[in-house]
Amino acid sequence: MPFESKPDAAFKICMQKTCTQLHRNQLFKCPALSLYSLLEKRLRLEDIPRWKLFRDYRACSPDATDAEVRTFIATGPIPQCGLCPSRRIPFHHPDPTLVGADS
């Protein structure tokens, strides 16, 4: 399920915000938005209203003007960012370089 964050707060800690994606011949703000349509099909999210903002997202199309592309690239938080987390949750995992070090 998506988060219920303030878009500004989520965007502030987002690690994807500089990862503009070229997907299906369109520019997407981030990987989360570019891959959502694939996840939606795979996880059958199409009937879940809370994902509506992601569903409604419109990528920057190939026929966009230079000004539209500049505006697209320059944007900060958008409403869709509210579906992302607004605080980081550390994920600790074993150091892979130490696996098997005892044997």
Token pair of 103 as six digits? 């044997």
- Using CA atoms, how far residue 38 sits from 6, 23, 44, 62, 89, in Å, is 25, 11, 10, 20, 25
Site string for ligand SF4, 82-101 (x = CB under 6 A): --x-----------------
State which of residues 25, 74, 76, 81 lies at the interface with ligand SF4 (CB under 6 A): 81
- Which residues touch 7 (CB under 8 Å, ≥6 apart)? 77, 78, 79, 80, 81, 82
Q: How many other CB atoms are there within 10 angstroms of residue 8's CB atom?
A: 12
Looking only at residues 12 through 31 of this chain, which bind ligand SF4 when binding is defined by CB under 6 A? 14, 16-17, 29-30
Write down the least CB distance from residue 44 to ligand SF4, Å: 21
Q: Is 60 in the site for ligand SF4 (CB under 6 A)?
A: no
Judged by beta carbon, residue 29 or residue 59, the one nearer ligand SF4 is: 29
Q: Is 11 in the site for ligand SF4 (CB under 6 A)?
A: yes
